[in-house]
Structure formats: C-alpha cells, structure tokens
Amino acid sequence: MKARPHRSATRADEFFGRPFNGGSPGGSIVRIGAVDIGTNSVRLLVADDDEQRRLRTAHRMGEISRLGEGLDRTGVIDELAATRTLDCIERFVQEAEYSGASRIRVAGTNALRTARNGPDVAHRFSERIGYDVEILTGEEEARLVFMAVLSGLASTQGRSVVVDIGGGSTEVITGEGDECLRVLSLELGCVRLTERFLVEDPPSAMELQRVRDHVRAVYEERLPDLNGTPVDRAVGVGGTVTAFAALDLGLHRYDPARIENHFLPTDRIHAIEAQICGLPLGERRELPGVSRGRADVIPAGSVILTEFVQRFPVPGLHVSTRGLRYGLVLSEARRQVTGEGSPAGF
C-alpha cells in the first residue's frame, strides 16, 4: 500500500481549548507540536499557547500510512507498513521543527499497543526521529480525545458521550460537564474489521451483516449498561465521522471549519451508510470528503458508527475534527503550566 497524503487548510484564527490557570511563562507564546500515530493514518498538529492562555492552530496535516495493515491476521506490524509510517513520522516531526515548535510529542495508539512487536517498532521510531514515542493505553487515548472534543464545544453542560472510530479500535467516553466519567477502548476499528470480514467489492449484504453482528456483540458485551442511557449530546470524531459530515454538507474539499460541530441526524447517518456500502471501491474513492486512502475501510467504519447511534436515544451526532493530536497539545500545554509529569494530563 502507498501512503496517501490528505492535508487540510487551517485558519490562523482557529482557537481551541478553554483558558486554564497560568499560561505561557512570562506571557510569551510557546509553540507545541503533536504527532498521532494511528493504525490507519498519521496526523500532525502544531499550535501556539498564547499570552491569553488559549491554543491557536498554526498548522495541521495528515497522511494515510496504514501502520496496522495485516495486523489483525498476523499479530505483528509489517516491515513495509512500519517503514512507510516512519517516513511519514519523520517528515511530520521535521515539519513541526521547521514551524518552530519548541515541544513535540509523538504518541502511538492501537497498532503499537496491540502488536507483539509494537514496543520494538516504537523504539525504532524513537531512535530515528530523536523523540520518545509514547504508546498510549486505550484509557489514556480516550481521556485525551475527550479533552480535545470538549475544547470544540460551545457548552459542556450535561452528559456527553463521545465515540472515536479509529483504524484499530473505537474509544467510547462518557462524561458529565468537563468531567470524564467512564472510558472504554473497544477492539473495533475500520481497518481491523475490513481485513477480517470484507472481501467483495462492493461488500455483500452477508459480509456487512457479519460486521454488524460482530459490532453489536462487542457493544452488547462492553456497553450493556449504556444501552438507552439518556445523554444530552453525542459527539463523533475520526476519519469516518468527518467523512460523513463532508458528504452531508456536500463539500468538494475538506473544510474543518465547516465540519466542526456539524450535526448529523440519525436518519442521515443511516442514509449515508447505505450509500457508501452500496458503491464499489472506485466510486467510493470519488466521493467528496472520502480520501482515497480511506475509501477501502469506510464501509466497516460506517457500520461501527450506525450501530453506535442505535444504542443512545439521541437525534443524531455532533461532529468534531479535534482528535488525539489536539488532546496531546492541550495536555502538553497544561503540563508546562502545572509542571505535572502525567503524559495524559489527568
């Protein structure tokens, strides 16, 4: 597989993160970089911690590298997948350095934490780029995502449930106001389920039903007490969710400013899933908002999403573009102020 870049323009006035006590030392601006090494993609964020104790996006980009290709079958990270991912990470770190970041955090998620050779691959990455590669636990990842998502909400009052659909896992987080109450990391990812269940193009009804049955079984086992739980808002994050928003908005080019906080009604989620799953790969690649490197795995991601909204009595899903990389930057900014050593900012 060849890595496919997908870059998004960033507005210079895009602020995120609520003010926290302290701020940049001496009122100066501190630039922070974060690299999120996912199962399907690598994402970069460079942001400024300004004198008004806000974080402002300076630069962000992403690229499909498919680190987790074949992982569900073999249990190890493939050498070619590791090499192309490392090339991407190295370029992103150099981009952050060139952009003037004085602090750079690099963190890996499901692929690195579940692969038998994950620690060795992470060590290899660290030696090459000159920065430690953190392997986050599922709980650490989920808490950072929750922090990131909250930074984009107009109000955090009431109960929220957040779903982050990734390539190797899906994180489900519930919270009350700013407080994270419960986090779950589920072995449900769009790359993982595609490789396990989907062969035909487009996926057959029988294949999709197998994915659906599996997702329902995992939800029923891990989320039984959340079935029908009243929530004030549901928020989705990750490439599948933002692709749904782009399709719903009719965007021809990825625009995070329009996608952030877009509301996807439940009936539209079901309609978009049916549209995506009924198209062959070549036509999915041409859909606005669906990157070419995501087109092969988005049917599985669609099922994970639709089954999720079935479990909560909400009219739909608010969309967030602020995933793990935002949580890493927010956590690092708070750590600089408080001096705490926790990498996840708990």
- DSSP codes of every residue in 37-69: E-SSEEEEEEEEE-TTS-EEEEEEEEEE--TTT
Tokens of 236: 């989705």
Q: What is the mean pLDDT of residues 312-331?
A: 92
Measuring CA to CA, which residue among 276, 215, 222, 213 is closest to residue 244?
276
Predicted confidence (pLDDT) at residue 15 exceeds the cutoff of 80: no
Q: What is the pLDDT of residues 80-107, one digit of tens each?
A: 999 999 999 999 999 999 999 999 999 9
Measuring CA to CA, which residue among 189, 179, 193 is closest to residue 150?
179
Give the model's confidence band at 4: pLDDT under 50 very low, under 70 low, under 90 confident, else very high. Answer: very low
Q: What is the pLDDT of residues 254-267, one digit of tens each?
A: 899 999 999 999 99
Give the model's confidence band at 53: pLDDT under 50 very low, under 70 low, under 90 confident, else very high. Answer: low
What pLDDT, on the 0 to 100 scale, is given for residue 1? 56
What pLDDT, on the 0 to 100 scale, is given for residue 51? 56
Q: What letter does residue 200 receive in the DSSP assignment?
A: S
Give the model's confidence band at 223: pLDDT under 50 very low, under 70 low, under 90 confident, else very high. Answer: confident
**Does residue 188 sit in helix, strand or coil?**
coil
Mean pLDDT of the chain: 88
Predicted confidence (pLDDT) at residue 330 exceeds the cutoff of 90: yes
What pLDDT, on the 0 to 100 scale, is given for residue 231? 86
Share of the chain above pLDDT 70, in %: 86
Q: What is the pLDDT of residues 272-312, one digit of tens each?
A: 999 999 999 999 999 888 888 899 999 999 999 999 998 87
Separation CA 284–CA 168 (nearest Å): 21
CB 165 within 8 A of CB 187: no
Predicted confidence (pLDDT) at residue 24 exceeds the cutoff of 80: no
Render 9-20 in DSSP notation, one character per residue: ---TT-EES---
Predicted confidence (pLDDT) at residue 343 exceeds the cutoff of 50: no
Q: Which residue has the higher pLDDT, 211 or 345?
A: 211
Share of the chain above pLDDT 90, in %: 75
Separation CA 265–CA 151 (nearest Å): 22
What pLDDT, on the 0 to 100 scale, is given for residue 263? 97
The full set of domains in the chain, from first to last, is 4-137 (3.30.420.40), 153-320 (3.30.420.150)
